Structure 1
Amino acid sequence: MDGADESADPTPPAAYPVAWEADVVLRDGTTTHVRPIRPDDAEAIQRFQTGQSERSAYFRFFAPVRRLTERELDRLTHVDHRDRVALVAVRPGEDDDGAPRDDVIGVARYDRITPAEAEVAFNIADAVQGKGLGSVLLEHVAAAARERGVLQFTAEVLPQNSSMLGVFREAGYALTQQLDDGVVTVSFDLEATERSREVMADREHRAEARSMQGLLSARRVLLVGPGSPGDGPPTSEHHLAQRVLDAAAADPGDTELVVLGAPGPVPAGVRTLASWDELDEHSELSAPGDPDGADDGPAGVQLAMLAVPPADAVAAVRRLGGHGVRGVVVLAAGYAETGPDGLARQRELVRAAHTAGMRVVGPASFGLLTTTPGARLHASLAAHPPRPGVVGLFCQSAPAAVTLTATLQRRGLGVSALVSSGHRADVSGNDLMQYWQEDPRTAVVCLYLESIGNPRKFSRVARRLAAVKPVVVVIAGRSGQVVPPGHAVRATHAPRRLLDEMIRQSGVIRAENTHQLMDVAQVLAHQPLPAGGRVGVLASSAALAALVAEAAAAAGLVVAASSDFLPPDVSDDEITRVVDALYAPGSCDVVVAVDVPVVVPRTGAVARAVAEAAARTGRTTVASMLGLSGLPDELAATAPDGTPVRIPAFSTPEDAVAALAKVVTYARWRTEEHGTHVRPDGVDSRRARRLVEGWLAAGSAPGDGGGRRGRELDQDQVADLLACYGLELRRSRRVRTGDEAVAAADELGWPVALKTASAALRHRADLGGVRLDIDDPAELRADVERMREVTTAALGDPDPLMDVQSMAPVGVACVVRSAEDLLFGPMVSFGLAGDATDLLDDVAHGVPPLTDVDVAGMVRSVRAAPRLFGYGGAPPADTAALEDVLARVSVMADDLPELAALELYPVVVGPAGASVLHASVRLRPAQQRADALRRALPG
């Protein structure tokens, strides 16, 4: 139920929150648009209410309300977007004259009843109940509430309304319920929990996988072309449409192709439509069909391919609405890469498709195809689709798809599906990873990415997938900071190495280029995961064996003692003996076989012996043999259980070793403990939220940079914020004179440290900016005078400020930082203090939320880490205390998008404990993260 009418509140309403608009995927894989309610939604809300069943109306208003009064409509549609918030889910409809309009299919709203508490209510259209819309709206209205400072929801629900009670129970929040006077009052905190994050991720996974299933299981495809070129020259759209028709003629797959706007003659058996009206008139082309593709035959049009000019695409998408189409593949370019107008056109296209329940593949897509026996989908520009296999292949640009399909053909490597997202306006590699996780025909996932639009989500989804199936990725430009024209990606100032760290933490195999991508895929698709990293080398000469062994050792593999070489004139019996010894139980974990004869032609005996031994033992094997490449028949054999086994052949031994090493590293990651997300004790995120909002509301302090840089906190404010996360900032006092310094030391306790307040010198003991272990007032006064002279000479400041601080236990000085990036969101970094660390970039990076294993790995991954573990006879540092500091900073960064920058420098880690000696914090108004605590498609 709604709370009290607060229309008398004199506070003006907040501006319309555009950032709350989002496209979402429902449980059945269809899409819809969620946005804040507007006053002009009154008619749509009335239609929505009159279309509800009596039961639904009673559940919402506790009375059989059929129509809303004008006063009720006014109150429901006029909100302030702060204390009274309402979100609507809409889909396109038409009025009696055929004009387009928004039809409401769901409403979520809250009314604030105390500064931190609000009453929430939902109303879901009967036609979409059971599709997860209530859960999606709960996530979005909760995110809006948190943004407005609401920390708790309450709801009054009738006991019979089991669906809504289920939405609350299954959301993952800690609920309290109370039955009073026939009404259940439900209350829950809105702070994200480990369980609520898991629930959101699970629902997101199922919905997005179902969405991709709807595309890849299409049985009837509509090609919308530009029509005949007439007397003029054919355009690029004509060439695209003709290429689809030519590909369908060469290999139509198992789908039915229907053509509207053919560019010329169509292949025999292909159905053509003369106009959109003809599509509307044929009811069999609008039947929704089974979203899992289990129909006995084609139902309606389930997938559309657009080869029309960009100016006509939005109208085409809108005409497809209501025909049961699950997605559109946009083949043509001419969108975001052309400039602001093209980007606006692209966004309009995506919005029209999402609102109509469809996903968008493209623009500039090569298309998509599957090799499912009996249900092969060929909706692409590929003249010769790849052969069936177990590799799920995703790429972005059409040129990359052309190269990859040719490579697949040359190597004989098969795929389960191939999807090209083009400029990735909507469907991305994240969506396909969600689908391939459950797809029984896909055993290996390969991604060729030119940009990553949502790194946090990529990391989260890839980590989940990599736990059950290998994921191999090649990223153009390596750093992920190269954004091709047409890719609408947020700008980033993240360190170039951050993407490497994120991928490593996710268990993803990073390939250097497409050649290595296919190398690694060959091994994963046709060889078992290795049990370890001991490599047995078999070579056709001693020199070659030594070179391969060196390459293996350089790649982090351990060369087994069973390694051997074969002389040129070796007999078949000797080959069998050497190979059997190499594959003997316990001799090694993986094998590299290299056969490059110099004089005597290769006979194939080594290849046969190795293939049979690998099939018999299940030992992971790769080969480099003269004249063999890809997956040759000469290196094929049958396992004892009848399973065919193929050993991948590489052009060079170095390629074979490099691919094998990456597979070994992944197999090791699969067996390791990955930990749980850190959430230390003593965290008060509510207080932190109140402090941050209050400081930002007070505005920027004079001289702190203001504006875009935000607000620099003073040391007392920094200490308060750190205390919310269980971090204690060692006390200090700012002084100008020797007498003030002595008084501060008396208060803090001797001995003390004296530091200049200047950021340029405060960490430079070598330049006189730091004096340590002062235990005498006279010495302190003298040090103050010397530091004044040094600071004045270096910076020209005649009256410098200094800090007096009680001495911390002796230990290793470290630096912990965090920053908020537009693309990556919160980032944390760790390194040991000192110029060498900064000059050599000896810094570990991570993207929260981090697990305890991630945190421990960051501490140990820097090259200077041995200093923490007793290097040179020094006592070991308390790394557990250091990891606790890093964990608390990661949680703070994850909680507070307003935390533009934080630096703890130094953090001195002694034999027992870690002390934060200095900290700086800069806040700025939060910008919405790409991977917020709500499910949403690319905007």
Structure 2
Amino acid sequence: MITLEFPIDPTDTAIGVMRDREHAAEAASIHRFFHPKSVAIIGASRRQDTIGQVLVRNLVMADFTGRVYVVNPSAPAVSGLPAYRNVNDIPDDVDVAVVAVPADAVTDVVLDCANKGVHGLIVISSGFAETGEEGRRRQRHLAGLCRSYGLRLIGPNCLGAINTDPTVQVNASLSSVMPNRGRAGFFCQSGALGSAILEKVKNRGLGISTFVSAGNRADVSGNDLLQYWEEDDATEVVMMYLESIGNPRKFSRIARRVSKRKPIVAVRSGRTTQGVPMGHAVRRIGAPQAAVDAMFRQAGVIQVDTLDDMFDVAQLLAHQPLPRGRRVAIVGNSDALGLLAADAASAVGLVVNRSVALGADATAEDFEDALDDAIDDPDVDSVIAVYIPPLDVSGEEVANVLAAVGEQSDKPLVSSFLGAEGIPELLRVPDVAGSSAGRGSVPSYPAVEAAVRALARVVDYAVWLKNPDGKVAEAEDVDVRAARRLVNGILSDPAVVAADREVELDQDQVTRLLAAYGIELWPTLQVRDVDDAVAAGETLGWNVVLKSTLPSVRERPDQVHVWRNIDDEAEMREAWDDLCRLVDPATGRFVVQRNAPTGVPIAVRSFEDPLFGPVVSFGISGPVIELLQDWSYRIPPLGEHEVSAMIREVKSAPLLFGYRGAEAVDVAAIEDLITRVAELQNDLPQVSSLELSLVLAGVDGARVLTATARVAAVKDPRPDSFVRRMPDLITTIPD
């Protein structure tokens, strides 16, 4: 008998290999859709104003460079192309099939395409999950069938896919608008919205490299497109309209990597309601909106509120260099608009270091001199140009100056030129790559406030790029195995298994769980009467506090619910009588603790979202802070600088740094505490929630006075996996 023992914990090398394999496979599968040598339209029709006819016309009118085949069993030809009864009758290979047949016939089409060796399907057909339970079952069957045959699927109920590369020119979509060649890749889910988006992109002169409307997103998702765009040299900016996020952890991981090379601009609908549209087979995110926003920021994603904001930011990123910092110069011929620009810049965190008012009669030469001086100024990182022409003046000469300066400048230049929107013809620089507007073209905004908002978001992205992730923050003296044994032991109790419910840990269990991660929870002794309170004081060696944990009085300045510095029996009895006048001892849940040094009360929380994964939050304790929701959020694992940023980004952070002459607290101790909580939540998905609701942060440390925790069986693994798989039945994490 030979016994071989070796560790199976994933190493950095193993994880790197898995990520590279995942990236290569998903990018290659999407490449097929954008670079097909042949496309078959299944359900092509001879009748005008039908989906099958529109698909044929759009593909042919886009000057697709590959072969087009049409499948129609009841017609000899469609739009002058010979029609085949079945995809298997096509004599040549088929790379992509565009499907526009009734929903109940799609399954047969999938089988035919699998037999033919088709690589990808674009299912335009509706009648799937967006229609109800029967449609959801049909969609699950469709996705499972495609996956079993190794087919990638865009849709169903989608608009389609477009590639503007002149060597391909494929418009496999219902959109009659073939956008101009550009530097931005675009992903959306809604088909109807996709058509409007393409029209708006064309009107702005922005241009698109590739476009996908994923519809119900049964298979191909935004994560797949990110994998492709990361390596696509034709795509320099990624735009995403997200109606739902199927795998937030994977999105965060991929987006963080892509953002280091290419900016991602995203609009996320349903931010307030966290709603999921019909047809999207995903669960609602239980995490609060602020936590999802934090995930986007961590990943470097530029999140905007509207589609117009997204285009405003994208056109700046696509045509101008990134700024080096927050310092701006304003050059214009309108004092009023210059002041508006300065106010708007200050409101979004930009610093106006230079403001030049040229006057209404300023010439093109005046603009050129002022712009050159601003760009040459080492204290200026970007320039905002404002031009409103006098009467009967076209502004063409000023436009030529702006275009010339924008082409040569290594600092971003944005404008509010004639109130135009997009990239006006006068401000475009010819592009040798063939896009509608070249690098250096100056984006124009109808209002200076829009120009400033777009610039501010690009500045935030540039600042994010300058702050590398750094190493993951790790705590010392952590016993993960002990914590897992404790949690698994609780969850394996027959009563807990039978009830299949969340379990709240008792004080001893919470103490042991936190101790495994080096967090000391101060002992809390529950007392029923004054004699219990006296005994508790003696047990703790006096210098104790007596307080009520009743939520209605806790942390309320108008309700004195805590007696401190109790040193003997007489003081304890006096304190007991005083508290009993305020709170009924039968319901007031009185406790005794050691007296902690004074400090700022803070709270650290974490929870496990079934879709989102682990989330950690930080805030100053108190009812006012709770009402104002002054919390910072992060998604573990945390980098060292992220822990520091969590503390400093809450609005009440000055309380920790010597507000009104108070001593600054030990911030390093708070950072260490957050690091340990984040590590615990990341290691133990069974911990459904953990709350350190009262931590006193003083000048010499942070002391955890109150903590609660709940655990629950893990029915599914966290949804961040390097392989596509069906959910399994894991309930506990092994030791």
**TM-score normalised by L of structure 1:** 0.73
> Is 1:646–2:441 an aligned residue pair?
yes
1:558 maps to which residue?
351
The AA in structure 1 aligned to 2:520 is E
Q: 1:874 to 1:264 in 2, by over 3 A?
A: farther
Label 1:759 to 1:263 Cα distance change in 2 as closer, same or farther (>3 A). Answer: farther
Q: Secondary structure, in 3 states, of the residue corresponding to 2:106?
A: helix
- In the alignment, what sits opposite 1:713? 505
CA distance in 2, matches of 1:463, 1:480: 25
Match of 1:578 in 2: 370
Change (3 A) 1:538 1:218: same
Structure 2 match to 1:769: 561
2:405 to 593, 607, 613: 613
User: In structure 1, what is the Cα distance between the partners aligned to 2:346 and 2:587?
Assistant: 60
RMSD across aligned positions (CA): 2.7
- Contact residue 320 and residue 439 of structure 2 kept, 8 A: no
Amino acid at match of 1:860: R
Summarize deviations over 1:430-488 as a string: whole Å, max 9, x none. 11111111111111011011111122221111111111110000111334712111111
Instruction: Kindly state the Cα deviation for residue 832 of structure 1 after the two structures are TM-superposed.
Output: 0.6
From the superposition, tell whether residues 397 and 205 of structure 1 become closer, same or farther in structure 2 (CA, over 3 Å): same
| Deviation readout 1:569-589 (Å, 9 max, x if unpaired) | 334443333233223242521
User: Per the alignment, do residues 933 and 421 of structure 1 end up closer, same or farther by CA in structure 2, a change over 3 Å counting?
Assistant: closer
Q: Which segment is superposed worse, 717-726 or 739-748?
A: 739-748
Amino acid at match of 1:208: E
Where does residue 275 of structure 1 map in the other structure?
A: 86
The residue identity in structure 2 corresponding to 1:214 is R
Query: What is the aligned partner in structure 1 of residue 545 from structure 2?
Result: 753
CA distance in 1, matches of 2:397, 2:264: 34
One of 306, 315, 323 as aligned partner of 2:108: 315
1:428 is the counterpart of 2:221: yes
Structure 1 residues 638 and 321, CA, compared in 2 at 3 Å: closer, same or farther? closer
Q: 1:743 offset after TM fit, Å?
A: 2.8
Q: Of residues 702, 710, 720 in structure 2, which corresponds to 1:914?
A: 702
**Structure 1 815/267 Cα, relative in aligned 2: closer, same or farther at 3 Å?**
same
Contact 1:502–1:847 (CA<8 Å) still a contact in 2?
yes
Give the Å deviation of 1:193. Answer: 5.4
CA displacement, residues 510-543 of structure 1 (integer Å, 9 cap, x when unaligned): 1211111111111111111111221111112222
Secondary structure in structure 1 of the residue aligned to 2:116: coil
Counterpart CA distance in 2 for 1:432 and 1:746 is 65
| SS of residue in 1 equivalent to 2:487 | helix
Question: Does the Cα contact within 8 Å between 2:44 and 2:53 map onto a contact in 1?
Answer: no
3-state SS of paired residue (2:7): strand
Structure 1 residues 587 and 249 mapped into 2: Cα distance closer, same or farther (>3 Å)?
same
Equivalent residue, structure 1, for 2:317:
524
| CA distance in 1: counterparts of 2:501 and 2:602, whole angstroms | 26
Q: 2:283 matched to 1:490?
A: yes
Instruction: State the alpha-carbon separation in 1 of the partners of residues 44 and 490 from structure 2.
Output: 57
| Residue identity in the other structure for 1:746 | E
Q: Equivalent residue for 2:230?
A: 437
What pairs with 1:589-604 in structure 2 (closer than 5 Å)? Answer: 589-604=381-396
Q: Which residue of 530, 546, 550 corresponds with 2:339?
A: 546
Distance 2:149 2:515 in 1: 49
Picking from 653, 670, 683, the partner of 1:882 is: 670
Indicate the SS of the match to 2:6: strand
Structure 2 CA distance for aligned equivalents of residues 379 and 588 of structure 1: 46
- Residues 708 and 203 of structure 1: CA distance in aligned 2, closer, same or farther (over 3 Å): same
Counterpart AA for 1:892: L
1:656 and 2:451 matched = yes
Opposite residue 405 of structure 1, the aligned amino acid is L
Shift, 1:930, TM fit:
5.0
Counterpart AA for 1:683: V
What count of residue pairs does the alignment treat as equivalent? Answer: 724
1:806 is aligned to 594
Q: Deviations over 1:868-887 (max 9, x none)?
A: 11111111111111111111
Check whether the contact 1:226–1:262 (CA below 8 A) recurs between aligned residues: no
Please give the residue correspondences for 1:846-857 in structure 2 after superposition, counting only pairs within 5 Å: 846-857=634-645
- Which of 654, 676, 680 is the matching residue for 1:892? 680
CA contact (8 A) 1:699 1:711 kept: no
1:245-394 alignment runs, 5 A limit: 245-261=56-72, 270-276=81-87, 278-279=89-90, 282=91, 284=92, 300-394=93-187
Q: Evaluate the alpha carbon distance shift between residue 252 and residue 929 of structure 1 in structure 2; reply closer, same or farther with a 3 A threshold.
A: farther
**How far apart, in 2, do the equivalents of 1:331 and 1:572 lie?**
52
Q: Which residue is equivalent to 2:522?
A: 730
2:6 aligned residue: 187
The 1-side partners of 2:303 and 2:190 are apart by 19
Residue 334 of structure 1 and its aligned partner are, at CA, apart by 1.2
Whole-Å Cα distance in 1 between the matches of residues 68 and 513 of structure 2? 62
Distance 1:874 1:640, change over 3 A: farther
Match of 1:679 among 462, 474, 483: 474
Distance verdict in 2 for CA 1:514–1:730, change over 3 Å: same
Following TM superposition, by how much is the alpha carbon of 1:600 offset from its aligned partner in structure 2, in angstroms? 4.6
Counterpart in the other structure of 2:732: none
What is the alpha-carbon distance in structure 1 between the residues aligned to residue 667 and residue 299 of structure 2?
A: 23
Give the aligned residue type for 2:27.
A
Is the Cα contact below 8 Å between 2:88 and 2:116 reproduced in 1? no
1:833 aligns with 2:651: no
Further displaced range: 576-585 or 307-316? 576-585
Q: Which residue of 2 aligns with 1:863?
A: 651
Matched, 1:217 2:35: yes
Q: Whose RCO is larger (CA < 8 A, sep 6+)?
A: 2
Q: Please state whether the residue corresponding to 2:50 is helix, strand or coil.
A: helix
**Distance in 1 of aligned mates of 2:334 and 2:588:** 73
Cα–Cα, structure 1 residues 587 and 612, in superposed 2: closer, same or farther, change >3 Å?
farther
Supply the distance in 1 between the matched residues of 2:614 and 2:365 (Cα, whole angstroms).
62
Instruction: Tell me, in whole angstroms, the C-alpha distance in 1 between the residues paired with 2:541 and 2:220.
Output: 62
Distance 1:640-1:485 versus aligned 2 partners, 3 A rule: closer
Pair 1:904-2:692 in alignment: yes
- Out of 238, 241, 250, the residue aligned to residue 52 of structure 2 is 241
Contact 2:56 2:79 in 1 (8 A): no
Give the TM-score normalised by structure 2: 0.93
Contact 1:426 1:938 in 2 (8 A): no
- Structure 1 unmatched runs, 5+: 4-179, 285-299
Percent of aligned positions that are identical: 39
Change (3 A) 1:517 1:746: same
Structure 2 residue matching 1:798: 3-state secondary structure: coil
Unaligned runs of 5+ in 2: 728-735
The alpha carbon displacement at 1:638 in A equals 7.1
CA contact (8 A) 2:43 2:71 kept: yes
